[in-house]
Amino acid sequence: MEENKENKVVAKRNMKQWAKMKGENSWTMFKVISEFVDGFDTLNNIGPCISIFGSARTKPGTFYYELAVKMALRLTQEGYGVTTGGGPGIMEAGNKGAKMGGGPSVGLNIDLPFEQSHNPYIDFDKNLNYRYFFVRKVMFVKYAQAFVVMPGGFGTMDELFEVLTLIQTKKITAVPVILVGKSFWTGMKDWIVKVMLEQENNISEGDLDLLPITDDPDEVMKIINDFYSDGKGSELKPNYEL
């Protein structure tokens, strides 16, 4: 009996705390809306961009950092802007290449307790800061005409598979998703084929077409240009209407 009384007291206290949280969450919606409004107002006016994903821990001078610089430079030479997560590593390299090419250099920065601070290669008027990951992801996806995914950690994997899921389920327009880094991505794709497809039958064979792998900036550009010139792709515009 005493234990039941104690449990009821704890439950009542928790309900009071929960009621307070619900009130706080209602006010949070205004913060969320303001982030959406700022993002839409800025990104609607930039033009077609390519989103580049990759690790914040990749150092300047390393193979993938310099490859990301070349990749972004090549994209801007074709008339695209470059959007990154705004931080160091691959993100910095992408913005650096865009800046070198004179194209739009967009940074969607996220407030994190470590690692993240905006890099110096983002255009001043295109540096957006986010508190909420889900708002940031909407901006990444809505305005990307293709996704270039370079080696990274859990965050990169999260972004990659969310984009693939949205395309697979037709929640967004189908756009190219290109894995850059053969030595990094080939083992993962082999596992997807052997386990997810052949062993467990959890995906369709056609889903593998969503995952080309290359190390060549020119091949990346060819995949994107072919997609938008051979009738498979739609015109260059935001991927979906909210």
pLDDT value of position 63: 97
pLDDT value of position 240: 61
Q: Which domains does the chain have, with CATH numbers?
A: 46-229 (3.40.50.450)
pLDDT at 185 over 80: yes
Q: Residue 231 corresponds to which amino acid?
A: G
Q: Give pTM, 2 decimals.
A: 0.86
- What is the secondary structure of the chain as a DSSP string? -HHHHHHHHHHHHHHHHHHHHHHHHHHHHHHHHHHHHHHHHHHTTT--EEEEE--TTPPTTSHHHHHHHHHHHHHHHTT-EEEE-SSSTHHHHHHHHHHHHTS-EEEEEE--SSS----TTS-GGGEEEES-HHHHHHHHHHTEEEEEE-S--HHHHHHHHHHHHHHHTTSS----EEEE-HHHHHHHHHHIIIIIIIIT--S-GGGGGG--EES-HHHHHHHHHHHHHSSSS--SS-S---
H or E element: which one contains 83?
strand 81-84
Q: In this predicted model, what pLDDT tens digit does every residue of 90-145 receive, in sequence order?
A: 999 999 999 999 999 999 998 776 655 789 999 999 999 999 999 999 999 999 99
Alpha-carbon distances, residue 229 vs 159, 180, 219, 222 (angstroms): 26, 22, 15, 10
